[in-house]
Structure 1
Amino acid sequence: MVRKFLLSKSFSSKITVAFLLVILISTLFISLSFYWESNSILKKNVRKSTIQIAKQTGESLSFIFNVGIDTSDFISSDQNIQRAALQLKSSTPYEQTRNSQYINTLLNNFVYSNSFVKIVYVLKEEGSGWGSGTFSEARFKNIPLSDQEWVKEAKRKDGELVWQGIQYDDFSGGGNNTDLTLPVGRVLKDFDTLSNIGLVQVHLDGRSILNTIGHLKLGKTGKFFVVDNEGRIMIDSHLDRINKKVENPDLFRHVVGDNHAEFEFTVKGVPYYGVKEPLSNGWMLVGTVPIHEISGQLDRLQSWILFSSGVFSMLAICIGLFIAGRVTKPVKQLTQIMQRVQQGDLKVRTAVNSSDEIGFLSKQFNNMIDEIENLMQQVKSEQSEKHHAELRAVIHRIHPHFLFNTLSTLRWLIDSNQNNRASLVLSALTHLLEANMGKSGSIIMVGEELDIIQKYLVILELRYEKKFNLELDIEPGTEILPIPRMLLQPVVENAIFHGIVPKNTDGRISIKIHSNNGDLEFLINDDGLGIQNDKLKELNDPETAVKNGEIGIGLRHIFDTLRLYYALNWEWSITSGPEQGTTVRILLKKIVESATKH
């Protein structure tokens, strides 16, 4: 049945298929184009934003790390600390007390002066040392310092920094209030002998570091963490993952094995998007998020597009069948009557009494049959006028053609229903012609020119069914200065025709008029398509453009007006760029002084 419907030659099947194809194709094309473009833009913007967030966060973390590095460098280079550590056992009790006070004060000053430094320690392996804040020497003595992995690594690196993952401070005496810190340590050296005389350990504020990466959001479940160059997790909100290597081998390979800032990997069959940013201490900030959290809304949009396409298709079929039925019924009646007339029955008449074009055609058809019948009667009764009767019959046979053209014009007027619009255009045109045909001659005031432009814009808005916003910035007093008629209107006209209308959107035109040292300057700016560089170069050399015939009528009028009225006392320049709008500058020199004198 469907195949028979599609293969049918009837008008109803054709118009139904046409409605279906128009609605379905346009809906699918627009919807899918929107989906693909939105998907591309969304992914691009999300990835760009994620990289920017990672970069900014990396800079913040690097700043915190650099604070720890600078603090460690300063303490390691302090000669008083070196001397106290070197002479700890050989100094007198008084000197030990004085050194301890100095070092403790210095370490506490570091903590108080920088919000990112939580605790600072200067330690000796034999069980003595100094520390800021809640440093517990009793706890320190119970911990074999030489067995600590960071101490061993600090000795191997011989003065270079040793970074540890985020952890609770082992030497704090704060009890349950032990601080969460990120330690960075190194050996303390005697600058004279370069021998190790102790250890320096700076503890950065772990809570601030976790807050720095904890506030970042990637989708709903995405997160950031920090790994070292071996793929071990050093900073993570889940402390049980600290010092453990990245479990997912695909993610581990991207983190450690390549230099790409962006990558994709899978976790249990779920695709993930990842981004990484190097930090100042050699570590890497890594962010991961499931891809579906980035583009999930677009997937739902695609399903909605397919569903809506199906609904619109059914709606197109219903509308097509309904309209086809309303249109074809009177057409079929008229066709049947025409067939009977073709068979020679001139007594039949159509009974279509609708007020639309088909009803009008039916009435004209009846009139045509009446006239044809009368002509045939005349042919039979007046043999002497046979030749003229045949001529009249031929003339009447071409009436349908004339009728078709007339009906087409009438249909356009009836369908468009533009009586009010035509009245508004005519009214605006009347006012514009009245302004242009005024009695003020070829010289008018600036205010009159602006009034003409405003009336002209009314016509253009009605013609193109667009809104052209006119912004005026007129220096008081300049509106009464005399200028040649139609000096600014062609610029506005060009801005609309060549700049704004091709964009098929509303537009903006601004006119700024001000005086400076007797000169009167006009700046006309639009937000249109702009002018290509080669064409712009031609327009900024009007004399050459006129010679070569490369300038339009409007700008030619302005150039001739300036040349004839102001000799060499004028300037003209045009600045523009593709998709950047256009600004036309006209400068009339000494016109304000001249007008004042007169």
Structure 2
Amino acid sequence: MSRILLLFNRFSTKIILAFLLMILIPTLFTSVFFYFASDSILKKNVRESTVQIAKKTADSLSSILNVGSDTSDFIYSDLNIQHAVLNVNSSNSEEQSRMFQYMNTMLNNIVYSNSFVKIVYVLKEDGSGWGSGTFSDRKVKRMQLSSQSWVKEANSKDGEFVWQGIQYDLFSGGGVNTDLVLPVGRVLKDFNSLNNIGLIQVNLNGRAILNTIEELKLGETGKFFVVDAEGRVMIDPDLRLINKKVENPDLYGNIVNHDRAEFEFRIKGVPYYGVKQLLINGWMIVGTVPVHEITGPLDKLQTWILLSSTVFALLAVGIGLFIASRVTRPINQLIRVMQLVQDGDLKVRTEVHSSDEIGLLSKQFNKMLHEIENLMQRVEDEQSQKHDAELRAVIHRVHPHFLYNTLSTLRLLIRSNQNNRAYQGLSALTRLLEANMAKSGNMVTVEEELDIIHKYLVILELRYQKKFNLKLDVEPGAEKIIIPRMLLQPLVENAIFHGIVPKNTDGEVFIKVYQSEEMVEFIVKDDGLGIDKEKLKGLNDPESSIASGEIGIGLRHIHDSLRLHYVNQSEWSVTTEPDQGATIRIVLHKPHRILGEGGV
């Protein structure tokens, strides 16, 4: 019994047990945690990517639909077309011929000028009219336009658009059902009397629209289609479904009765995942896919992770047992040497020369003893450098301010449980600090300063959840001019914080860099709220504002940089217009040399 107690009291036994626990517990915990956390995270990412695909497709389809409405507006507002429709039957043959030539040329030019417009018609309810391509007025007359549902709807809407589901063109003379189109119609009015004088129908390229939808993939069997506000299918590769309401009541309810961008429903007991996005004409693009098709590979991955984690844990235990048996001997030697050092013998050295971590620890311990002998001299050297360090701290005092603002943003994101956005912000900060520290010294090129601004805008967009567009106008060659570090970044930060953010909208910052033989000029302009007169006066007199403490750290840094690097050789001015933003102009009359002409 005493031997067993002695065995468990030995240092080597404790190390082995601790090593085993340190390996087994984190490995098992990490595997289990990753199993459940990855399921949630990856499913979320898959769904977010699906929503983004739907949004991009909705934008593409909306652009195509915009072409149809814009084309219809163009025809609707053409006075020559109105004249032709009003007078074609009352004019002489020569005038009629001229009208027909004008109309045919105009409509064909519209089709040729845009790849998404397939066919254009201008019709009268009596069956006459014009059309691009192989228009057949005989088909129009046989159809009796006044009885068509879209014509009735167009008359009731009195000039508004009437969108129809994808279909084959009805009026082409090139054969039966030759062109797949998406029609948008409306009545044509006489601007003088406001009477309905005809009909306009713009047929968009249905095949191009279907290709846009069919290119999207959701799992193996998922698909996208378009419905109107009442849940009727308007665009679908299966033309038999056009103008029919969505059959599945669960899916229909999620489309019509809810505003959620993503949802889940069931078809014959099988769970499905769906997304939807609104189009510009009030329709919606809807995507559906069985849930197992987007999560099946994840389940296989998680099973593999659990199995591999178990195998590696067992392997690590075996390796830990072997390593632990070799650790105690050199550790005991180190302990004996440390005791001698504790007694005041700084000349002693360890004799452990292995190549593992213990050997490295021995070398570092010997090195530490050597460094202690030189400590007093180092302290004296450091004291002599204190004054220079204080000067550098003054020059770089803007850096903590900049870092504080950035970390404050990350803190707010974490506090509001926006961990994903906080991670993005931290990644952006890492890239920003990497770029900011990549260049030694206090001077950078204009190109490097603009690169730092680009990276910093990513953090500001995360902080304020707005889009800040940066426009640059840099004269060729000016990007290599050397300037003080962070000369422009505080101006961009102030423009966003004081000018754009209070508007609670997206904004734009414009930076122009112009150079000549004697000077270089920087202009930073925003589209924010502008600056009130009292503050504007203080900004144009920075000396007084600094003395009274009314100017911020960023602008003070810029003022001190200009004062130290360009003595009496710089200009600073601030102008503003109410609700039109502020403009800051900096002129350096003797700029630093260009990179490549001697370096920084």
Superposition TM-score, scaled by structure 2 size: 0.56
Aligned to 1:472: none
Q: Kindly provide the CA deviation profile for residues 19-60 of structure 1, in whole angstroms up to 9, marking residues without a partner as x.
A: 654433211222333344444443444433333333333233
Alpha-carbon distance in 2 for matches of 1:321, 1:130: 90
Aligned to 2:529: none
Aligned to 1:169: 169
Aligned to 1:416: 358
Q: Kindly provide the CA deviation profile for residues 463-518 of structure 1, in whole angstroms up to 9, marking residues without a partner as x.
A: xxxxxxxxxxxxxxxxxxxx946658999xx99xx99xxx9x99965642359xxx
Alpha-carbon distance in 2 for matches of 1:142, 1:26: 80
Q: Give the direction of change, closer, same or farther, for the CA distance of 1:9–1:359 in structure 2 (3 Å limit).
A: closer
Alpha-carbon distance in 2 for matches of 1:591, 1:94: 81
Alpha-carbon distance in 2 for matches of 1:10, 1:584: 69
Summarize the alignment of residues 278-357 of structure 1 with structure 2, pairs less than 5 Å apart: 278-312=278-312, 314-315=314-315, 356=329
TM-superposed CA distance for 1:318, in Å, is 5.5
Aligned to 1:225: 225
Alpha-carbon distance in 1 for matches of 2:272, 2:284: 18
Alpha-carbon distance in 1 for matches of 2:270, 2:29: 30
TM-superposed CA distance for 1:229, in Å, is 1.0
Q: Give the direction of change, closer, same or farther, for the CA distance of 1:282–1:357 in structure 2 (3 Å limit).
A: closer
Q: Which amino acid aligns with 1:30?
A: T
TM-superposed CA distance for 1:178, in Å, is 2.5
Q: Kindly provide the CA deviation profile for residues 172-229 of structure 1, in whole angstroms up to 9, marking residues without a partner as x.
A: 2333893221101123344455544332111112233223333334344433221001
Q: Does 1:56 align with 2:56?
A: yes
TM-superposed CA distance for 1:299, in Å, is 1.9
Summarize the alignment of residues 527-538 of structure 1 with structure 2, pairs less than 5 Å apart: none
- Corresponding residue SS for 1:175: coil
Q: Is the Cα contact below 8 Å between 2:62 and 2:279 reproduced in 1?
A: yes
Q: Give the direction of change, closer, same or farther, for the CA distance of 1:173–1:433 in structure 2 (3 Å limit).
A: farther
Q: Which amino acid aligns with 1:31?
A: S
What fraction of aligned residue pairs are identical, expressed as a percent?
Answer: 56
Q: Give the direction of change, closer, same or farther, for the CA distance of 1:199–1:513 in structure 2 (3 Å limit).
A: closer
Q: Which amino acid aligns with 2:59?
A: E
Aligned to 1:241: 241
TM-superposed CA distance for 1:115, in Å, is 2.7
In structure 1, list runs of 5 or more residues that go unmatched: 1-6, 328-353, 361-398, 444-448, 450-482, 524-572, 577-582, 594-598
Q: Kindly provide the CA deviation profile for residues 346-383 of structure 1, in whole angstroms up to 9, marking residues without a partner as x.
A: xxxxxxxx9948999xxxxxxxxxxxxxxxxxxxxxxx
- Looking at CA atoms only, which structure, 1 or 2, has the larger radius of gyration? 1
Alpha-carbon distance in 1 for matches of 2:331, 2:376: 41
Summarize the alignment of residues 119-268 of structure 1 with structure 2, pairs less than 5 Å apart: 119-175=119-175, 178-191=178-191, 194-268=194-268
Q: Is the Cα contact below 8 Å between 2:330 and 2:358 reproduced in 1?
A: no
Aligned to 2:270: 270
Q: Is the Cα contact below 8 Å between 1:357 and 1:411 reproduced in 2?
A: no
Q: Is the Cα contact below 8 Å between 1:24 and 1:312 reproduced in 2?
A: no
Q: Kindly provide the CA deviation profile for residues 98-121 of structure 1, in whole angstroms up to 9, marking residues without a partner as x.
A: 221121122122222333222111
- Corresponding residue SS for 1:512: coil
Q: Is the Cα contact below 8 Å between 2:227 and 2:234 reproduced in 1?
A: yes
1:513 aligned to which of 442, 451, 464: 442
Q: Give the direction of change, closer, same or farther, for the CA distance of 1:206–1:587 in structure 2 (3 Å limit).
A: closer
TM-superposed CA distance for 1:130, in Å, is 0.6
Alpha-carbon distance in 2 for matches of 1:150, 1:8: 95
Q: Is the Cα contact below 8 Å between 1:23 and 1:312 reproduced in 2?
A: no
Q: Which amino acid aligns with 1:175?
A: G
Q: Which amino acid aligns with 1:124?
A: K
Q: Is the Cα contact below 8 Å between 1:165 and 1:235 reproduced in 2?
A: yes
Aligned to 1:375: none
Q: Kindly provide the CA deviation profile for residues 127-184 of structure 1, in whole angstroms up to 9, marking residues without a partner as x.
A: 3211012212344344343443322333343433221111221212333893221101
TM-superposed CA distance for 1:311, in Å, is 2.7
Alpha-carbon distance in 1 for matches of 2:59, 2:242: 22
TM-superposed CA distance for 1:253, in Å, is 0.7
Q: Indicate the RMSD between aligned Cα atoms, in angstroms.
A: 5.3
Alpha-carbon distance in 2 for matches of 1:225, 1:79: 38
Alpha-carbon distance in 1 for matches of 2:216, 2:132: 32
- Corresponding residue SS for 2:120: strand
Aligned to 1:391: none
Alpha-carbon distance in 1 for matches of 2:330, 2:78: 102
Alpha-carbon distance in 1 for matches of 2:318, 2:375: 49
- Corresponding residue SS for 2:277: strand
Q: Which amino acid aligns with 2:99?
A: N
Q: Which amino acid aligns with 2:73?
A: D
- Corresponding residue SS for 2:185: strand
Q: Give the direction of change, closer, same or farther, for the CA distance of 1:588–1:126 in structure 2 (3 Å limit).
A: closer
Q: Does 1:30 align with 2:30?
A: yes
Q: Is the Cα contact below 8 Å between 1:225 and 1:286 reproduced in 2?
A: yes
- Corresponding residue SS for 1:119: strand
Q: Is the Cα contact below 8 Å between 2:164 and 2:183 reproduced in 1?
A: yes
In structure 2, list runs of 5 or more residues that go unmatched: 344-348, 405-425, 445-482, 487-550, 568-600
Q: Is the Cα contact below 8 Å between 2:330 and 2:352 reproduced in 1?
A: no
Aligned to 2:499: none
Q: Give the direction of change, closer, same or farther, for the CA distance of 1:429–1:149 in structure 2 (3 Å limit).
A: farther
- Corresponding residue SS for 1:234: strand
Aligned to 1:68: 68
Q: Is the Cα contact below 8 Å between 1:522 and 1:585 reproduced in 2?
A: no
Aligned to 1:93: 93
Aligned to 2:110: 110
Q: Is the Cα contact below 8 Å between 2:351 and 2:362 reproduced in 1?
A: no
Q: Is the Cα contact below 8 Å between 1:123 and 1:200 reproduced in 2?
A: yes
TM-superposed CA distance for 1:122, in Å, is 1.2
Alpha-carbon distance in 1 for matches of 2:159, 2:565: 79
- Corresponding residue SS for 2:143: coil
Alpha-carbon distance in 1 for matches of 2:230, 2:7: 76
Q: Give the direction of change, closer, same or farther, for the CA distance of 1:15–1:355 in structure 2 (3 Å limit).
A: closer
Q: Which amino acid aligns with 1:260?
A: R
Q: Which amino acid aligns with 2:282?
A: G
TM-superposed CA distance for 1:254, in Å, is 0.7
- Corresponding residue SS for 1:90: coil
Q: Is the Cα contact below 8 Å between 1:216 and 1:223 reproduced in 2?
A: yes
Alpha-carbon distance in 1 for matches of 2:138, 2:253: 44
TM-superposed CA distance for 1:236, in Å, is 1.9
Q: Give the direction of change, closer, same or farther, for the CA distance of 1:433–1:245 in structure 2 (3 Å limit).
A: farther
TM-superposed CA distance for 1:13, in Å, is 10
